């Protein structure tokens, strides 16, 4: 693949049939590949990145091992993704992000720090999950500080809704988990409420979960705490027993 084709693939993130989604959980503002970003993409995309395909992913081929796979949706600038992957080397991580600069930033970190257990894609998460991720194949999902779309008229844009939660639940194996963190309390309460109606999942804590030791505090999270926003954590599991 030459440089022009590579950059075209990086910027191709709409639906596979070419139609734009009517309601998206994001708004793209900058899709220009700078010379610095181009250098990172050229150096590291082949090893750490992959492109959308209308076929199930072969995790073993992607990572070169059979370690369990965790998927992070909307990894932002990727700092947390990198740190979690370093702390938990027994897992493989797939990161999905639509924002170009965040994607490139993590790509650069993976290459510069030689983080071997992360692969990333720039594409719509719903399409990746529907067409590339087999059911009952994922160890867990991480969703850290998704956009709360604070205005009520924008709530329909929120990533987490009953339909999306059900999609995630289908993709995790028995005993797998979904881990969400947000500093927007009303959003957290909403997710906690509708998650109770998801038949494939249960909440082992009966409410919000305690913090885990392996997730670092991000700059965004620190600002939220300084503004006295409560950090709410939701941990759901797919039972490997009858509940």
In this structure, what token pair is assigned to residue 17?
A: 């049939």
pLDDT per residue as tens digits for the range 15-25: 444 444 444 54
> Which residues span the domain enclosing 111?
3-237
Stretch 210-218: mean pLDDT? 92
Supply φ then ψ for residue 177, to 5 degrees. Answer: -140, 160
The pLDDT, as a whole number, for residue 111 is 98
| Helix segments in the chain, DSSP class H | 3-10, 35-48, 59-63, 79-87, 100-113, 125-132, 162-171, 185-195, 219-226
Higher pLDDT pick, 1 / 205:
205
In this structure, what token pair is assigned to residue 131?
A: 């067409």
Does residue 147 carry a catalytic annotation?
Answer: yes
The pLDDT, as a whole number, for residue 215 is 95
pLDDT tops 80 at residue 74? yes
Stretch 39-62: mean pLDDT? 96
Q: What is the pTM of this model?
A: 0.87
Name residues whose C-beta falls within 8 Å of residue 160's C-beta, 6 or more positions apart in sequence. Answer: 143, 146, 180, 187, 190, 191
In a domain, 42, yes or no: yes
In a domain, 77, yes or no: yes
In a domain, 32, yes or no: yes
In a domain, 242, yes or no: no
Stretch 104-109: mean pLDDT? 97
pLDDT tops 90 at residue 5? no
3-state SS, residue 112: helix
In a domain, 243, yes or no: no
**35-48 and 3-10 helices cross at what angle (nearest 10)?**
90
Higher pLDDT pick, 52 / 218:
52
The span from the CA of 196 to the CA of 162, in Å, is 10
SS (H, E, C) 13-36: CCCCCCCCCCCCCCCCCCCCCCHH
- Per-residue burial over 142-170, b if 16 or more Cβ lie within 10 Å, else e, is bbbbbbbbeeeeeeebbbbbeebbbbbbb
In a domain, 181, yes or no: yes
Overall domain count for the chain: 1
pLDDT per residue as tens digits for the range 143-192: 999 987 456 664 676 899 999 999 999 999 999 999 999 988 999 999 99
57 pLDDT tier (thresholds 50, 70, 90):
very high
* Residue in 79, 147, 183, 240 annotated catalytic: 147
The CATH number of whichever domain residue 75 belongs to comes to: 3.40.50.150
In a domain, 15, yes or no: yes
In a domain, 162, yes or no: yes
pLDDT tops 70 at residue 194? yes
């Amino acid at each position: 693949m030459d440089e022009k084709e590579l950059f075209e693939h990086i910027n191709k993130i709409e639906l596979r049939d070419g139609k734009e989604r009517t309601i998206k959980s994001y708004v793209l503002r900058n899709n220009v590949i700078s010379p610095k970003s181009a250098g990172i993409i050229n150096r590291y995309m082949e090893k750490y990145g992959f492109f959308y395909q209308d076929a199930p992913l072969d995790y073993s081929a992607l990572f070169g091992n059979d370690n369990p796979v965790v998927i992070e949706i909307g990894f932002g600038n990727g700092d947390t993704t990198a740190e979690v992957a370093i702390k938990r080397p027994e897992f493989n991580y797939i990161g999905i992000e639509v924002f170009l600069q965040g994607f490139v930033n993590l790509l650069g970190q993976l290459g510069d720090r030689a983080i071997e257990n992360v692969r990333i894609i720039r594409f719509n998460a719903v399409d990746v999950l529907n067409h590339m991720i087999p059911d009952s194949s994922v160890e867990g999902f991480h969703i850290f500080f998704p956009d709360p779309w604070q205005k009520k008229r924008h709530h329909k844009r929120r990533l987490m809704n009953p339909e999306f939660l059900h999609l995630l639940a289908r993709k995790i194996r028995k005993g797998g988990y979904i881990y969400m963190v947000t500093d927007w309390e009303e959003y957290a309460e909403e997710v906690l409420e509708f998650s109770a109606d998801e038949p494939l999942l249960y909440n082992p804590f009966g409410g919000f979960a305690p913090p885990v030791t392996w997730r670092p505090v991000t700059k965004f999270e620190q600002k939220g705490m300084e503004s006295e926003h409560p950090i709410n954590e939701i941990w759901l599991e797919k039972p490997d027993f009858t509940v």
